[in-house]
Structures are given as structure tokens and as C-alpha cells.
């Protein structure tokens, strides 16, 4: 039943006109309302906050105050033990090399060379010896790249403080930047490429005297060291005495050491030979270690140093490992008569006292490994104690530069004979 036909017709007519485009105005669209997030935008993380996180991660590896080496340092991805002479003291630091985190120095200890006992010290970079760090907003530990610097293709920077702790070198990509350590002001830049420059991938930078040394490595079995003056003047690769091919001495299977204030050393093939380079005048000298002839064919020895172990018989491999494994990657510091060497491989955690002329091992100093409870006890304490320690640590550690030198006789192997 239709009770109000007139009214229905009155309503339908204008609807029909609208549907047919009869000129009636369209209803305005409702405005879209965007709901604002109630969560405030996260502020940019400060260097102090990042340092606090790094300190916390470092203490998870080596507890604060521990006077022994945690067994975690034996893992493949563990921080690497490095040795330095700071004044009259021999100092060992665990330096992180895991490129997923690159915490820098994790912990340091002063070594009693008579007993091997360790005294814990706050972590800090070793004078001259480089560390690798992750870039944060084009900055490495607060040392920021200039605005006109090329954008880095890698998030990794290589850093080194000079021996006085007054200057900092930061290697990013192909460019090496020099900063004032206290103000963090950028002072100069130069490329590590070009004539006499690095020919492969840079892996570390070190600072000895007025010279900067850049380590570089190929994908294959070759690595070398190139020298630059602090003003950027390239000096070239450290070559063997009498070399004619112009190629730097390879540190593959060997190492690069910072011996003292003015000298560095390139060890070849597990300290078979050591070339000492004086940064003040470029003079070189060569040391040769006397070795017993191994039960190997010449081609087997060549294969061993090319990392082609499938071409080496077990008998030969065992003999070569006994002579060289603990010295592959080993680094040294110089005393008045001896070298003090941080050993590797199965002898990690030992320091060898080597004759500085013959490279013969005279004695070994065994550093204490933690038994398990010692590390836990050193890292114990309440949460409030940890918080207080972290607050103090924020003002120290890796952002403040290398450890200061102590006064007195600068001979880390004194009494080591």
C-alpha cells in the first residue's frame, strides 16, 4: 500500500537527475584525518650512549676487574690479544675484530714479567697500534668526516692514536684523515692510493713516530705494509733488503709489529725472517731464525705457506706446525736485548722472550687463564654496583685515547732473561 505517492515522486525526481548528471552538486568528500602517533620520535643516539652499550657488551666478554684471561678469548670470533710496551710495562689488551660489532679494546692487563700475573686495567687503545671500529653517522668514535669527504662504501673505519695521544688517524675507504685528539677537529686528509700507495684492500692503520703505516691484504695469500709520512707524503711499501720487484714483504703467515717508538718489524712465514724498519730514516735490517730442516719436499713447504694444506703430507704438516704455528700472526715489542712476543695458536696466552739477534726463544711466560669461577666472581656484584661502574666507565675507555706512558726505564723485557 502506497499512502503518500506525491511525496515519493518528489523525492525520486531529484535522485534521478543526480544519477543522470542533471547538474546537481556532488556532496563534499569527508576530509581524511591522519592519526598522529602518540609515540615520540626517537632522538639520535649520542656517542656517550653508544659507548655505554659498547662497554656493556665488552663486560659480557671480559668481566670488569678480572685478573685472568677468560677462556672465551680462545673462540674464533673472540677479541684478539695484542701486546704493547708502555713505559717500563708490558701491557696486553683484548681488541675486538668481529666486524659485526667492533667494540674496540675490551679489556687490558699489565703483565708482571717475573710471574706472569695480570693486573686489570680499564680498556683503552694501545699507543700507535690500530683498531677497527664501526662508523656512526659518518663518525668514528666521535671523529667525524668532513662534509665534503667522499661517502664511505663501508661502515668500517681503521683508527690509530700517535704515541703521545695528541693526534688520531682515521682511515675510511681510500682516504686517511688526521684529527686533533682533544678537540676532535679535522686537520688534514690524503689518499692512500696512487704512486707508492696501497695496492690492495686496507685492513689496518698504525702510527709510529712521524709515520703512518697501512696494512693491506689481497683475497689470496699476500698482504703487505705501506708507509706514509704524517703529512700524507707516500714513502712506499716496506720491501725486503735487496728486493728488485718493488713488491712489499708479505705478512701472509707472518705479522706486522710495533717494536718501539721509532721501529716497526715485518715478520715473514712464522718469524722465519724479520725485517726491522726504522721510521726515522727508512733504514732496514734483517734477522734470520735458525731452523732445523723439516721432513718436507720443497713443493710441500711452498704449498704450506700458500695455505694449500691438501698438498702437504701429515708428517710434513706436523713438523711445520711445530716450528711455525704459534708464530703465525705473533707480534713483538722490543726490549734492550730481547723481543717479547705474543704467541698464537695452541700457545695463545703465552709470551715468548726471544733473542733480538737470533730470534731464538729463551723462555716462555704463561699468562693465567680463568678457571670459570674467577671470571664470574670478578663480574659479580649488584645491579647498582654495575650501574655505578658503567657511569664511571663512560668517562674513560676507548674514546679518551691511548693509555698514558709511565716514567722510568722503558724496557718491557727487563728481567726476562
pLDDT at position 271: 98
Average pLDDT over residues 393-402: 49
Say how far residue 169 (Cα) sits from the centre of its chain: 13
CA atoms within 13 A on the CB side of 320: 22
Pairing of strands 234-237, 131-134: unpaired
Across the chain, what does the average pLDDT equal?
Answer: 86
pLDDT at position 377: 57
Three-class secondary structure assignment of 259-323: CCCCEEEEEECCCCEEEEEECCCCCEEEEECCCCCCCCCHHHHHHHHCCCHHHCCHHHHHHHHHH
Average pLDDT over residues 353-360: 97
pLDDT at position 54: 96
Out of 141-145, 149-153, 225-229, pick the least confident.
Answer: 149-153
Percent over 90 (pLDDT), the chain: 74
Average pLDDT over residues 271-293: 97
Beta bridge partners of 263: 278
pLDDT bin (cut points 50, 70, 90) of residue 399 is very low
pLDDT bin (cut points 50, 70, 90) of residue 282 is very high
Task: Count the helices and strands in the chain (H runs, E runs).
Answer: 6, 23
pLDDT bin (cut points 50, 70, 90) of residue 365 is very high
- Kindly give, in sequence order, each residue whose CB lies less than 8 Å from that of residue 306, ignoring residues fewer than 6 positions away: 221
Dihedral (C-alpha) 372, 378, 381, 387: value to the nearest 10 degrees?
A: -120
Q: Is 414:336 a contact under the CB 8 Å cutoff?
A: yes
The C-alpha atoms of residue 270 and residue 328 are separated, in whole angstroms, by: 4
Say how far residue 343 (Cα) sits from the centre of its chain: 18
pLDDT at position 5: 39
pLDDT at position 268: 98
pLDDT at position 152: 85
| Whole-prediction pTM | 0.82
Dihedral (C-alpha) 132, 133, 137, 138: value to the nearest 10 degrees?
A: -20
Amino acid at each position: 500500500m502506497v499512502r503518500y505517492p506525491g511525496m515519493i515522486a518528489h523525492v525520486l525526481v531529484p535522485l534521478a537527475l543526480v544519477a543522470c548528471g542533471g547538474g546537481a552538486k556532488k556532496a563534499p568528500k569527508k576530509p581524511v584525518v591522519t592519526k598522529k602517533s602518540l609515540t615520540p620520535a626517537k632522538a639520535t643516539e649520542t656517542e656517550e650512549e653508544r659507548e655505554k652499550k659498547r662497554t656493556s657488551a665488552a663486560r659480557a666478554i671480559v668481566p670488569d676487574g678480572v685478573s685472568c684471561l677468560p677462556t672465551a678469548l680462545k673462540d674464533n670470533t673472540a677479541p684478539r690479544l695484542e701486546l704493547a710496551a708502555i713505559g717500563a710495562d708490558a701491557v696486553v689488551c683484548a681488541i675486538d675484530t668481529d666486524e659485526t660489532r667492533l667494540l674496540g679494546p675490551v679489556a687490558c692487563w699489565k703483565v708482571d714479567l717475573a710471574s706472569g700475573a695480570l693486573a686489570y686495567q680499564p680498556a683503552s687503545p694501545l699507543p700507535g697500534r690500530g683498531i677497527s671500529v664501526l662508523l656512526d653517522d659518518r663518525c668514528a668514535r666521535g671523529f667525524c668526516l668532513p662534509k665534503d669527504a667522499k661517502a664511505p662504501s663501508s661502515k668500517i673505519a681503521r683508527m690509530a692514536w700517535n704515541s703521545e695521544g695528541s693526534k688520531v688517524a682515521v682511515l675510511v675507504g681510500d682516504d686517511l684523515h688526521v684529527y686533533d685528539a682533544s678537540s676532535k677537529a679535522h686537520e688534514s686528509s690524503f689518499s692512500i692510493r696512487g704512486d707508492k700507495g696501497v695496492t690492495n684492500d686496507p685492513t689496518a692503520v698504525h702510527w709510529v713516530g712521524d709515520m703512518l703505516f697501512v696494512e693491506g691484504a689481497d683475497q689470496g695469500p699476500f698482504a703487505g705494509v705501506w708507509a706514509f709520512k704524517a703529512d700524507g707524503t707516500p714513502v712506499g711499501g716496506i720491501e725486503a733488503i735487496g728486493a728488485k720487484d718493488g713488491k712489499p714483504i708479505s705478512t701472509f703467515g707472518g705479522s706486522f709489529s710495533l717494536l718501539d717508538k721509532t721501529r716497526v718489524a715485518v715478520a715473514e712465514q712464522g718469524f722465519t725472517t724479520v725485517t726491522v724498519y726504522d721510521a726515522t730514516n727508512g733504514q732496514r735490517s734483517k734477522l734470520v731464525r735458525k731452523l732445523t730442516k723439516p721432513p718436507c719436499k720443497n713443493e710441500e713447504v711452498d704449498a704450506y705457506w700458500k695455505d694449500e694444506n691438501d698438498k702437504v703430507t701429515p708428517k710434513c704438516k706436523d713438523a711445520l706446525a711445530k716450528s711455525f704455528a704459534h708464530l703465525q700472526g705473533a707480534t713483538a715489542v722490543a726490549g734492550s736485548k730481547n723481543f717479547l712476543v705474543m704467541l698464537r695458536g695452541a700457545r695463545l696466552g703465552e709470551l715468548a722472550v726471544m733473542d733480538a739477534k737470533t730470534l731464538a726463544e729463551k723462555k716462555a711466560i704463561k699468562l693465567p687463564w680463568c678457571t670459570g669461577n674467577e671470571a664470574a666472581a670478578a663480574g659479580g656484584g649488584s645491579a647498582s654496583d654495575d650501574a655505578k661502574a658503567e657511569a664511571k666507565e663512560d668517562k674513560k675507555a676507548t674514546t679518551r685515547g691511548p693509555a698514558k706512558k709511565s716514567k722510568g726505564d722503558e724496557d718491557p723485557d727487563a728481567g726476562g732473561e
